[in-house]
Every structure is written in C-alpha cells, then in structure tokens.
C-alpha cells in the first residue's frame, strides 16, 4: 500500500480575483535587411509613446534602461527580435527555453558591480498565448489590421517614400502587439484569472480561482516518475496509403479536449499503490504497467512506444496505460498477461466539468455578441489540462546563459553547447511544483483517443490526426462541443505518412508536410519532393554552429525515405495508386 506520510504537498484553490491587474507593458519590433538579417530599425510602444530607432545599441539600451524595469516587455517572435538586438548575450541575461523556443527572458541589473542578481526586466512572446497567433491574426481580433508589407521589406529603403512605408509598417506591428496583450490581460481579469507568462498558466489560474473546490493531492516523487510512461498524445496514422480520386470528407471534432474534460477523473485525494496488484484493481480509475496481448485488429486500440515513435501494434508488448483504457481494450479482445504495478484511486470526481461548461457557455455568448472575448475563452479552454502533466524529468527545459568557463560552476544536468554558453538545468526533483499531477493530463488524452477510436471503427478513415479523420462516409455535423464539423470536401488526395499529405477540392489545394514551410510546398511536391528553402538560424542552432543567429541559410529539403508507422500492404506508386496499411507486429 502507498505510504501516505510521503504526501506533504497539495494544490490549493486560490481566492477569487478582487480587482483588475495594472500591468505596465511595452511592445517592441525590429526590421532587418539582407541574409544576415542585420538590424535596420525598430520601434517601441507603451500605450502612449512611440519611439523609433535606427541605432541598434540605442534601442537595446532603451529597452533595458532602469526607467523601464517595472514594465513587461512583449514581442511577437521574441527569439528573432531579442536576438536581433542583444546577441551575443552577456552574462546579465537568462533565456528560459523549452526545446528551441524562448518562453521568456530576464535581464538582471547588478548592484555595486557584484554578480548579485537583484531587480530585473522580463521579456515574453505573444506566441505563449497561442502558438498560431501571428501579428495579422492578433490585428484581426482587436480590429487593428496589420499593415501591407512594404516594398523594401528585408532590404534598405531606396527613398523617403519607402522609408515611411517601412517605419509605418513596423510601428503598426508594435502597436498591435501592445494592444492585443492589453486586451488579453483585461479579458483574462474579466473571466476571473490573473495573467501568467503562458496560456497554460493563465488557464490553470482561472481553474484554481473559480472552479477548484477541493485541494488536489500531489503524489510523491517515486509515483510521479512512474506515471509519465503512460502519457501519450494524439493519434496520427495513415490507413490508406497513396493516391485517391474518390470523394472524401475531412472532419474535425469540435474542441475535443474540452469535450472529454467533462468526464469523471480520478480523485487525487484517494490515491493508492500496489506493486503486487490483482487484476480486479483495474475496476478503479488509475494507471497500470502491464504485459498485454493485442488481438489481430485492423485498428488496434493501445499505443506503444518504440524508437521514439508511438505505434498502435498487434502482438505482445509491455506498457503503462490508464485503467480506463485497459477496460476498453479488454472489451476489444485484448488480454492482460501480467500486471507489474498499479496506481489506483478509490474515488472519482468531475474535476473539470464546471470549468468546461461555464467557459463554453461564455464562449457561445461572446460568439453571438461577436465579441473578441470569444478567442480568449477558446485559448483558455484548450489549455486547461496540460500544465498538470509537466514532465519533471525532462531535459527539454533549461536556461541558456553565458558561461564563465569555470568547471566548478557546472551542476548536474547542465549542457555545454559552446565554449561561451550553456543550458543550465532547472530540473530539481526536490522542488516539484504542487500543480504537477500527471494523472489528470494522462486521462484527458486517453479519453480523447477513445473518442477518436469510436470514429475509426465506424467510419473507416484514410487518415486520422488527434481530433480529425478523413473518410468516404458522411457524418452528421454539429456545432456543439464534441460534435463533428466538415473542414474539407475532397476530390483528390494523397496520404503518405503522418503530417504529410495533399488534398484538393473545388476551391482549395492544401499540402501539409511537417518540417517544410508552406511557401515551399508546391515546389517541393512538383519537383519530385525536393526543394531549396531559406532557413532562419535559431538561437541554440546558431550558438552550436558558431554562426550568426537569425541569419538566412539556403538549405535543400528532400524526401529520402517514407517513414511508415503502419506498413503498406504492397509496393505501389503512391502518386498514382493506393493500398491499405497494416498495423505493426510486436513480439
């Protein structure tokens, strides 16, 4: 049994927000020229004052001046703008990164020239609110359209007219970034939440202030570490490989994750553990490591990790699954051969139901009123579960900082990426945030895959991706939460592998290919799956390769091998033929 003395930490509800936040912010944007993306000009905006700079040093000094230390600095595409001003970064910078993305950056002021960090200034990215939020999209939401791209974009102006076009374009981008961020903070406060640097943090804040009724018990470290093997994302597979001229329908499930969050979840306060479990324990919600035999299904149910890929195989294999999935799998003919351990919960509760129902009803109201608040509610709804699943054992998160070449200063987990820079590990298993409770995120994605599976076996799709399927069959559509909507009516299609396909209809020609920017896809497809692209050097890449950050590098992208998750039934010319794919066999 689980030793309850190990439990010391709870996630407690927060008090309701009693007043709006008065967060002072300043937005900034830069324009660059040439393949080096050299600084040409930039602007800042704080709601009252517009400042325009043609000197990189002066703009950089202005942003980090002590006069601005009480302001939150905002950019859209922070990595580009921040590096364009400050790279190479001095020892006064800490860049908080998730993989290759900057989440936020801090510039510290030193007191008496000692390396004692005191007050600081913080920079964040509007992409933290939604990764698909371009300046154009933000401008459309707040009713301030993005300016037309100037003739001299990415080069120096040739005359005063071009100079004015570029300056006005840049200032408009700064203003949109500022006004959208102000709108977002005000909208968040109206909904009852406080502003955080990411949408996941904002969503959790609202949940804790308005909808969390009881404290949530955080499991001890040894139990937490067992849970992550059971955390799988969305299902993406090709079931019919190659070309088709049959009429197809591309359907999406409306807000799939919020929809399943209305289900019951394990009550975190009733957790138990057994390392000698009996099979009967899967009647409780929880998580179990098992050895299992999958029947010979065309659409297997349970996922399996192999070589950093997630497969849906048949045969015998071991894995960690929710007890909900194991019960569903048994109904499909799966056989549990052995159970190694079980984390189970004696009670369940509707943890997120009120959160989802209330926000969804508010979204409908705002949509009917044509209020821009609808967008904020949508972002918050779709981000309500993820932070609970923060991987405390991941090496993807760290602080990029200048290194003083002192070997003694290195800590466990630090990663040297250059003679002058390292990624400082922030992983500390002794300081785990109280909100970490992976079972809630694990159940959310498991419920979502189960809903998708019900569509797979009923509608025999050519392709699926997390919350969407492509099928010959028609499905009743609905605007309701969890209902289906038709995105495309397809005349011709090619489905090659996950995240790689082309669909053509009467009014569209859509190509998706992970890793290749959309502007190159037609050339890539028409040139025998090979094209030259211009690649912007990102921060960690530039440091590792000792080349200028933000510079444009010419690269060739080509398809060398199709990496199937399911094997085609036979060899075909995938541009003119198709065939079914078969699930992998694990033995």
CA distance 363 to 366: 5
Handedness of CA 91, 93, 97, 101 (dihedral sign): negative
Same domain, 263 and 186: no
Banded pLDDT at 412 (limits 50, 70, 90): confident
Same domain, 222 and 114: no
Q: How confident is the model over 241-261, as pLDDT tens digits? A: 999 999 999 999 999 999 999
Same domain, 450 and 504: no
We report the CATH number of the domain holding residue 73 as: 3.30.420.10
33, part of any domain: yes
Which pair of tokens denotes residue 49? 């004052």
131, part of any domain: yes
- Give residue 131's pLDDT: 85
Is residue 178 exposed (0-12), middle (13-18) or buried (19+ Cβ within 10 Å)?
buried
234, part of any domain: no
**pLDDT higher than 50, residue 5:** no
Least confident among 54-58, 63-67, 427-431, 474-478: 427-431
Same domain, 164 and 292: no
Mean pLDDT, rounded, of the chain: 94
Which pair of tokens denotes residue 306? 């192999």
57, part of any domain: yes
CA distance 29 to 84: 10
Q: How confident is the model over 522-543, as pLDDT tens digits? A: 999 999 999 999 999 999 999 9
Q: How confident is the model over 77-88, as pLDDT tens digits? A: 999 999 999 999
Strands 309-311, 397-402: parallel, antiparallel or unpaired by DSSP?
unpaired
CA distance 511 to 489: 15
**pLDDT higher than 90, residue 144:** yes
Same domain, 124 and 222: no
566: Cα within 13 Å, side-chain hemisphere: 30
pTM of the predicted structure, to 2 decimals: 0.94
Q: How confident is the model over 69-127, as pLDDT tens digits? A: 889 999 999 999 999 999 999 989 999 999 889 999 999 987 443 444 458 899 999 99
Same domain, 151 and 225: no
Q: Looking at per-residue confidence, does 405 or 299 come out higher?
A: 299
Same domain, 156 and 224: no
Residue 556 phi, psi dihedral angles, 5° rounding: -110, 125
- Give residue 114's pLDDT: 46
Same domain, 473 and 548: yes
Same domain, 183 and 292: no
Q: How confident is the model over 200-210, as pLDDT tens digits? A: 999 999 999 99
Q: Looking at per-residue confidence, does 403 or 447 come out higher?
A: 447
Same domain, 181 and 300: no
- Give residue 110's pLDDT: 73
CA distance 70 to 65: 10
Banded pLDDT at 418 (limits 50, 70, 90): confident
Q: Looking at per-residue confidence, does 237 or 563 come out higher?
A: 237
Q: Looking at per-residue confidence, does 397 or 50 come out higher?
A: 50
Same domain, 560 and 447: no
Domain tally for the chain?
A: 3
Q: Looking at per-residue confidence, does 446 or 8 come out higher?
A: 446
DSSP character at residue 209: I
Q: Looking at per-residue confidence, does 355 or 412 come out higher?
A: 355
408, part of any domain: no
- Give residue 109's pLDDT: 86
Same domain, 450 and 467: no
253, part of any domain: no
- What range defines the domain where residue 315 resides? 217-229+259-350+436-454
Q: What is the CA 352 to chain-centroid distance, rounded? A: 20
250, part of any domain: no
81, part of any domain: yes
């Amino acid at each position: 049994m689980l030793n309850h003395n190990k439990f010391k930490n709870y996630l407690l509800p927060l008090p309701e927000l009693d007043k709006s936040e008065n967060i002072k912010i300043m937005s900034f944007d830069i324009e660059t020229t040439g393949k080096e993306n050299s600084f040409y000009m930039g602007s800042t905006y704080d709601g009252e004052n517009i400042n325009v700079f043609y000197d990189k040093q002066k703009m950089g000094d202005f942003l980090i001046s002590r006069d601005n230390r009480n302001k939150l600095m905002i950019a859209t595409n922070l990595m580009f703008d921040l590096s364009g001003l400050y790279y190479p970064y001095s020892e006064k910078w800490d860049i908080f990164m998730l993989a290759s993305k900057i989440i936020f950056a801090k510039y510290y002021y030193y007191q008496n020239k000692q390396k004692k960090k005191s007050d600081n200034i913080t920079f964040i990215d509007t992409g933290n609110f939604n990764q698909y939020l371009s300046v154009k999209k933000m401008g459309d939401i707040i009713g301030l359209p993005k300016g037309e791209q100037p003739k001299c974009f990415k080069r120096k102006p040739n005359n005063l007219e071009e100079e004015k076009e570029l300056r006005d374009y840049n200032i408009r981008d700064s203003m949109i970034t500022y006004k959208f961020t102000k709108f977002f903070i005000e909208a968040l406060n109206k909904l009852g939440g406080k502003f955080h640097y990411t949408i996941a943090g904002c969503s959790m804040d609202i949940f804790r202030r308005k909808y969390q009724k009881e404290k949530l018990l955080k499991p001890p470290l040894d139990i937490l570490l067992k849970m992550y093997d059971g955390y799988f994302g969305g299902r993406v597979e090709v079931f019919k490989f190659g070309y088709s001229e049959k009429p197809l329908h591309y359907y999406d499930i409306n807000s799939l994750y919020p929809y399943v969050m209305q289900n019951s979840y394990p009550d975190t306060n009733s957790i138990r553990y057994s390392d000698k479990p009996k099979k009967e324990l899967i009647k409780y919600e929880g998580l179990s490591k098992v050895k299992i035999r999958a029947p010979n299904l065309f659409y297997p149910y349970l996922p399996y990790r192999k070589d950093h890929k997630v497969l849906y195989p048949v045969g015998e294999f071991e894995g960690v699954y929710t007890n909900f999935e194991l019960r569903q799998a048994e109904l499909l003919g799966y056989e549990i051969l052995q159970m190694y351990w079980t984390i189970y919960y004696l009670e369940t509760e509707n943890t997120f139901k009120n959160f989802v129902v209330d926000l969804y009803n508010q979204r409908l109201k705002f949509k009917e009123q044509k209020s821009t608040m609808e967008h904020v509610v949508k972002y918050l709804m779709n981000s309500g579960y993820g932070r609970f699943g923060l991987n405390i054992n991941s090496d993807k998160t760290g602080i990029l900082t200048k290194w003083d070449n002192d070997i003694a200063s290195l800590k466990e987990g630090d990663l040297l990426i250059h003679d002058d820079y390292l990624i400082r590990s922030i992983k500390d298993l002794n300081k785990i945030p109280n909100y970490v409770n992976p079972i809630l995120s694990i159940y959310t994605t498991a419920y979502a895959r189960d809903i998708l599976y019900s569509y797979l076996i009923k509608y025999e799709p050519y392709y699926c991706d997390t919350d969407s399927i492509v099928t010959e069959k028609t499905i009743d559509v609905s605007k309701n939460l969890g209902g289906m909507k038709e995105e495309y009516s397809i005349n011709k299609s090619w489905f090659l592998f996950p995240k790689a396909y082309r669909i053509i209809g009467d009014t569209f020609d859509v190509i998706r290919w992970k890793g290749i920017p959309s502007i190159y896809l037609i050339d890539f497809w028409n040139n025998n799956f090979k094209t030259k692209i211009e690649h912007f050097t990102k921060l960690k890449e530039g440091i590792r390769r000792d080349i200028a950050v933000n510079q444009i590098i010419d690269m060739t992208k080509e398809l060398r091998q199709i990496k199937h998750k399911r094997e085609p039934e036979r060899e075909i010319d995938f541009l003119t033929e198709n065939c079914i794919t078969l699930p992998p066999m694990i033995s």
